[in-house]
Amino acid sequence: MARYGMVIDLRSCVGCQACSAACSLENQTPYWSNKWRTKVKDIEVGQYPNTGRHFVPTICMHCKEPACMTVCPSKATFKNDDGFVLVNYDTCLGCKACMAACPYGARYVYDKEDVRQAKEIYGDSTQHTKVHIDKCTFCQDRIARGMEPACVSTCPTTSRMVGDLDDPNSEVAKAVSSGLAKPLRPDLDTEPRVYYIY
């Protein structure tokens, strides 16, 4: 069984937010930026006149030992057979314990207003019908069909790539094993599935 991971190359990301829009459309999540599953942080660096900008897309890191899962009182946050961290919307209490525990800020509340607007937009095909905590799912339905996550297939600069972390021929595995791609916060020792090239 493949152990999928993602590498995001910050050297080529232009901050266009195509990944955020694609994710929102694919997963019927809110259109407002504070509730995107994939957020692109715009970070200014340096001091005038030597300044620059870095764009850092962030998603759920799908940690090997996720803090969000251990604090969930209803066990709504779980890992599937492929090792991805997911949320069971039916059993989620919306208590926000997982939000507080996530060191990456990768979760948000899908609230009553979001549910109302989703029903208005998507009608009978609405995926989210109750209040819950939401986050990146690594597009599990697309992965199961042999497709890339929406954010990966949409990126116009091919800054994102997905592959099997255990396959030595995978570009993702090569980038990680060579040390070119690194975790966003190596100090946390969460063993994420998402890595960055700085």
- pLDDT band (50, 70, 90) for residue 149: very high
What amino acid occupies position 80? N
Higher-confidence residue of 31 and 139: namely: 139
3-state secondary structure of 154: helix
pLDDT of residue 152: 98
Has this prediction a pTM greater than 0.85? yes
Return the exposure string of 64-92: e unless at least 16 CB atoms fall within 10 Å of the residue's CB, then b: eebbbbeebeeebbeeeebbbbbbebeeb
> For residues 72 and 96, what is the distance between their CA atoms, to the nearest angstrom?
9
- In order of their start, the domains of the chain are 4-196 (3.30.70.20)
